[in-house]
Chain A
C-alpha cells in the first residue's frame, strides 16, 4: 500500500491509501469530535460533528472527515472559527432531541453550545446508527433497524429476533449516546416478549 503525505493542523502526517482523514488525524494524536464513528464499523457520516476544512489545489471546502479519504498534499484544518460555529449549531440541534446525553453535554461545554437554543423535540434518538450498524455488521443478528424517514425516522427492534438474541448480548447498549436504545428495548420487551412464567419469576 502506498503512503500518502498530507498536512493536518500544520503537522506533516503520513497515512495509508484508503485511510480517512479522521483515522489519519487520530493516528497523529489529534482529537476530532465524533458521535457516530466506531472503529469496528463501516464509516457512516451520520452526525457530521467530525467536519473539517480541507484545502486541495488552492480551493478550500468543508468535508466530513470520517468518510473523506486522504489525498496527496491536502491541507486539513480540524479547528477554525467556521468549523467551531458549525459544530456548535449541530450540537444545539442534537441537544434539542437529547438534552441530557452525557457525551453531547461534554461536547456542548467544549463548543459553548446552548441546549435551549432550539425548541425541544423529545425524540431522544440522535440517529447515530451505532446500535443498528453494530447489530448488522459485528453481530450480524439484525435485531433492530431503522424505520420510516426524515423527521419520523426511528430505531425499531424486530420482536422475534430481539426476544431470542438480545438478552444474552446487549453489546450495543453502551454505544448509545442517549440511552434511548435501552428505553426502546424495555418497551419492545414489555410489549411483545412472551412473559417468563417459571415459578421463580411469577411473583416478580
Chain B
C-alpha cells in the first residue's frame, strides 16, 4: 500500500491519536491487511507507541496482520445457521478452496473465516463473500457461488 494513501487517511483524521482505530480500520478496508511498515508509519504519524498500535491491531478481529486473499469468505456458525447445516457448507468450502478457517490459499484467491452470527438468522445458512450475503445456501449452490469469484 502506498505511503501517500496512508497519509491521506491520517490527514483526514487530523493526525489525532484518538482516531487510531478509525485509521487502522480504513487501512484494513483498503488494503485487506496491516503490514508491519504500515503499523510503524501510523504509530509515527499519530505519536502513539508501537506497543499500543500492536496491542490494538492484535486485539480486534477486524484487523489482519497477515495478507488476505482477493475474496474474503465469512461462514456463519451461529446457532440458527448451525442447525440449518452450516457445518456442511463449511466442509464444502474447505474442500473447494483447500484451506481451513483463518487461512489463505497460495494463489491469494480466497481467505476463509468463520463468524459467530451475521445477524440474519432467517437466511441461514449464510455465507458472506466480500460483503455480499448469500443466504439459504445448499451444498451444491455453495460450489456454484464460489466458482463465480475470480
Contact = CB atoms under 8 A, between A and B. Distances in A.
Interface of A: 132, 136, 142-149, 156, 158, 161
Contacts of B50: 142, 145, 158, 161
Contacts of A161: 50
A148 B58 contact: yes
A167 to B, nearest CB: 18
B58 A142 contact: no
19 contacts: A132-B51, A136-B49, A136-B51, A142-B50, A143-B51, A144-B51, A145-B52, A145-B54, A146-B51, A147-B54, A147-B55, A147-B58, A148-B58, A148-B59, A156-B51, A156-B54, A158-B50, A158-B51, A158-B54
A146 B58 CA distance: 9
Contact of A149 (B49, B52, B54, B58): B58
Contacts, number: 30
Closest 9 CB pairs of A and B: A145-B51, A142-B49, A147-B58, A142-B51, A149-B59, A148-B58, A146-B55, A145-B55, A158-B50
A144 B50 CA distance: 9
A156 B51 CA distance: 8
A132 B55 CA distance: 11
Contacts of B59: 148-149
Contacts of B49: 136, 142, 145
Contacts of A132: 51
A142 B52 contact: yes
B52, B58, B59: most-surrounded residue (chain A CB, <10 A): B58
Interface string B39-66: 0000000000111101100110000000
A96 to B, nearest CB: 24
B134 to A, nearest CB: 30
A113 B54 CA distance: 36
A128 to B, nearest CB: 16
Contacts of A149: 58-59
Contacts of A146: 51, 55
